Amino acid sequence: MPPSPQATRSLVPHPSRRLAAAVAGWHRALLNAQAAGHPAGGNPYALLQAVMHDPDFAWLRKLSDLILRIDEANAKGATPSATDMQGFLATATGLAEGEDAEFHDRQQGFLMRPDVAKAQGELQAVLAELRQDARQ
C-alpha cells in the first residue's frame, strides 16, 4: 500500500532544511578548497582555529552565519516564518550570484575544482526550486 499524502509530505524536509544542507555542502567544498595547502589544512583542530581566527578564512563566515541563522530558526522543531525564509533565500542567492564582491572574488578562484563547482550547482538548483515554490 502506498504511503498517504500526509506521510509523504512528512518525509520531505522543510525548505529551510534543504537550503541549509545545500549551503553547508557549498561551504564544506569551499572550506576544503581554502584549506588545501594551508598549514592548518591537515589538522582538524588547527583548521577550526584558522576558520575562527585566520583572515584567510574570514570570507567563509558569511556562509557559516547563514547556516547558523537557518539552524536557529529550525531549533526545537520550529519552522522559519515566510519572511525569514525569504531572507535566507535572498542571502544565499546574493552569495551564489556574486552580489558580494569580496565573496565572489574569493570563491571564483575555486570554481575549477569539481567539488566546488558541483556543490555550487547543487545550491543553485535548490535555490531555483525554492524560489519557484515561493511564487506558487
Q: What is the pLDDT of residues 35-87, one digit of tens each?
A: 998 998 889 999 999 999 999 999 999 999 999 999 999 887 788 888 999 99
Domain that holds residue 81: 14-135
16, 85 in Cβ contact below 8 A?
A: yes
Its pTM stands at: 0.86
Asked if residue 3 is part of any domain, the answer here is: no
**Domains contained in the chain, number:** 1
CA 90 centroid distance within chain: 12
4 part of a folded domain: no
- 82-131 tens-digit pLDDT: 899 999 999 999 999 999 999 999 999 999 999 999 999 999 999 999 98
For residue 122, the model assigns a pLDDT of: 97
Q: In this structure, is residue 64 part of a structural domain? A: yes
The set of cell numbers assigned to 47 is 583548521
